[in-house]
Structure 1
């Protein structure tokens, strides 16, 4: 009888080690191609010769951690790198155990001392200029980040204040900071970041950020001005229109009487021009605030359907609520007619899309016990409301007219130089900034809430987070442009060939790539490295990112032989 041979699983000794490369090599390659470490170290000054990890290297390490999508806290960075090929990612001589909380904290302190906004802007503008990515369109937006715990504000001047404010995280119970962000051009590259007090208002901070960016542009001799694009917080009579010395495109707040009237105008009174994807536009002239400007009324069929469905759900809820409220109101006895009238007015104000037909009636009773005498007088003991209600169809028609509509405004008056269609396209690109905030708030990103105990370090950390966004967006832009230039594709989640994959998906495709290190001769420090799980598709992806990425992944050998010295 022939017996099957059974293999016994063995536990590898220290002579065989496995390190997780995954997508981290791509992130490291982009950082290296951009010269991030060198640029940061040049700004922050030469580090102490005894220092193993410079501030620039520490920032790159935090970027790798942030784009690791493991939600690993900063103080666990050494643990994050414990199973990674650290020297391939961060350079010779850098070990995981050197990336301590003290090392990273020291780097954050140096960034804060230099000035987080200034440092980011200097490096980002330099990269944008050298990469040919500087564009005239600057998109400005802001978001809030919640903070936990107690913080020592200290006595330092010009430190952000952690305060309660309008929470875009829907956590009004927590203090917060506000991040103002400017992204630029088709690459959606962040050019400016600024951390503001938790109670900062966009209506004020937007104008302050624009002024600071323009001042910085003058300092670095950038002559081409930006065209500023932002949401309705930018549009104000006392700031934007009073100044009006730069090009702007923004959304008009519908709280303005003129804007409210325009969005509610019936269709038959508007000269619509059809656009792709169910959109229509109509242009108008305006001199609101004493400034000549163009208004563009925009209608979106998709937005209309969505907003109409929301309105119908709201109406159904209010219909039920109003019926119950009027029933209770009808059974309530008021001491005087004025009180009943006041309660009725409050009900009408609360439900403006309904017509309430009502009257206040006195409640008269005989005051004596027993059977009343014929013709006996009654005494008014109170008042009650008798009512009926129905939907206010004219008001609903005005509401429906406004659904799916919004107004854009610009001070660029020449339609030949700046067509209406370009206005709409430019404003749609505002989603670049909004996507950046969604990226920074992704629960698998570096942090989902700020946990550091120093406002200075919080400010510096948010600069690092914005660098993560910069690296991610530039990597994605480079890949997509390369695919188009070479007429190549990569499979998406449905295995369909596409030329616009997201970097998040590319990162997932590279999961599982490992480097196996085999010690050949410990006495001479000879080691053999083998990269595993490196399929043809994964090699193709890495090659799209250029020579630096290929070297990190071993597609271009750094040394002639595959035997290295330890």
Structure 2
């Protein structure tokens, strides 16, 4: 008797055939008729592998023997060696744009996906390896600003667009590790318009969307958008001067608060004004956008708690320093001042910390300190506030509706969460940036690819 795991392979195969993934790949990447497998068949198996065994991308042939790949896909597991899989990745790499657009358009038509609202976000994938010889036609593995803050590692970036209805991924693109997120919005927008075959969708993104060049392109293309304003563009004085009592309460309850009593649920309130966005040159047009000012009691509580923890930790360190002032380790005013600087920076209390270094009659240094309560009160006044910018008119969406549509941005973050985590990858798949781009498309975005040239696969414990 031969036993194999079936799992969701029949469902995966059914969806892949409805999308005609193998046919689309074979149409773009034909192969000789004498070949045992087409590139499309190999890619289908790789996609099924990612859906059924999401942690390792190594020894796919062994996985196929354990699972019912031969029974469902009609493919002998012995044919799924690393070299054969790598050749398929090499073949599809030059055609990733066509593959993404064609498969995405097929999914929209086949399953009736509503693409009137699209949520867009980018993530980074850190890699181990040198990657000194890279193909310039494909995204480069470079140092950048990784989301996991591993600045010691090179990275590649990926962008993902999901539908507002159900968070279904419909578009994916790979970018250079050093590419700025702000500069990628327009290209993604144009590709989405072409794939969805419509001009009137709503693009929801993060604050990286808000630049003069991006907004100009979106307005020229008549694409509606919603994005949070970068914190640096809204002075704290604006939030401090707002009347919270006059803000309108939004009829919205987060999923996490559904089972809580009414007095413990997060409450959202909105106000509205306008925001002007100017370019660097005098000739650049000045854009006037709607600005939805949002207050969240949950955000306010979180900011208050975080500030209280910072102050408590800073106070603990300052008290230790105060007791040790004039002693063995802090015997001079210069050493005390240096330590104060470290404490203030590490706990982020530079703006409210006030210190005085004293010298007694014997020349012994001392320390007096306190937190400026006026500064802390000013910070508390802006807790919970943030701003959304949009070109939607009041007739198209009220301030409350703008917030509700933006709250769907968590959908794309959930899709990234589905695929994040260390991924053990066979080195042959990531020997070149060409294969990295193809692997990212066939396996969906991953937070970290633990492999690379001259590196051994590493599995998560």
TM-score (norm 2): 0.80
Which residues of structure 2 form unaligned runs of 5+?
254-266, 279-285, 447-461
Question: How far apart are residue 77 of structure 1 and its match?
Answer: 0.9
Q: Tell me the residue number matched to 2:409.
A: 430
Q: 1:456 aligns with which of 428, 434, 446?
A: 434
Distance 1:433 1:145, change over 3 A: same
Q: Residue 258 of structure 2 aligns with which residue? A: none
2-structure distance, mates of 1:344, 1:242: 47
Distance 1:291 1:269 in 2: 30
Indicate how the Cα distance of structure 1 residues 207 and 393 shifts in structure 2: closer, same or farther if over 3 A, else same. farther
Distance (Å, rounded) in 2 between the aligned partners of 1:440 and 1:405: 31
Tell me, in whole angstroms, the C-alpha distance in 1 between the residues paired with 2:295 and 2:426.
Answer: 35
Offset, 1:238: 4.9
User: Residue 158 of structure 1: CA displacement?
Assistant: 1.5
Counterparts of 1:196 and 1:348 in 2: how far apart (Å)? 37
What CA distance in whole angstroms lies between the structure 1 residues aligned with 2:428 and 2:372?
48
Corresponding residue for residue 456 of structure 2: none
Match of 1:118 among 80, 89, 98: 98
Shift of 1:347: 7.6
2:165 corresponds to 1:186: yes
1:181–1:402 CA distance, 2 compared to 1 (3 A):
same
**In the alignment, what sits opposite 1:282?**
271
Which of the residues 311, 315, 327 maps onto 2:311? 315
Q: 1:143 to 1:120 in 2, by over 3 A?
A: same
- Mapping 1:76-475, distance limit 5 Å: 76-91=59-74, 94-114=75-95, 116-151=96-131, 153-154=133-134, 156-214=135-193, 217=194, 222-241=197-216, 244-245=219-220, 246-256=223-233, 258-265=234-241, 267-268=243-244, 270-277=246-253, 278-289=267-278, 290-326=286-322, 332-333=331-332, 351-352=349-350, 354-356=352-354, 358=356, 387-412=367-392, 414-443=393-422, 452-466=430-444
RMSD of aligned C-alpha atoms?
3.2
Task: Report the Cα distance in structure 1 between the residues aligned to 2:82 and 2:339, rounded to whole angstroms.
Answer: 61
Deviations 1:312-356 (Å, cap 9, x if unpaired)?
111110111233345556654359xxx999998898786335452
Give the superposition deviation at 1:135.
1.2
Match of 1:65 among 28, 43, 49: 49
Measure, in 2, the Cα distance between the counterparts of 1:272 and 1:325.
Answer: 47
Displacement of 1:466: 2.7
Seen in structure 2, the aligned counterparts of structure 1 residues 211 and 259 have a Cα distance that, compared at 3 Å, is farther
Q: Name the TM-score, length of structure 1 as normaliser.
A: 0.67
Per-residue CA deviations over 1:442-490 (Å, capped at 9, x if unaligned) read: 45x775999611110000000102399xxxxxxxxxxxxxxxxxxxxxx
Shift of 1:144: 0.7
Structure 1 unpaired stretches of 5+: 1-15, 366-381, 469-566
Per-residue deviation, 1:110: 0.8
Can you list the C-alpha shifts for 1:187-239, whole angstroms capped at 9, x where unaligned?
3232322211112221222334334544xx1xx69243332211111112354
1:43 pairs with 2:28: yes
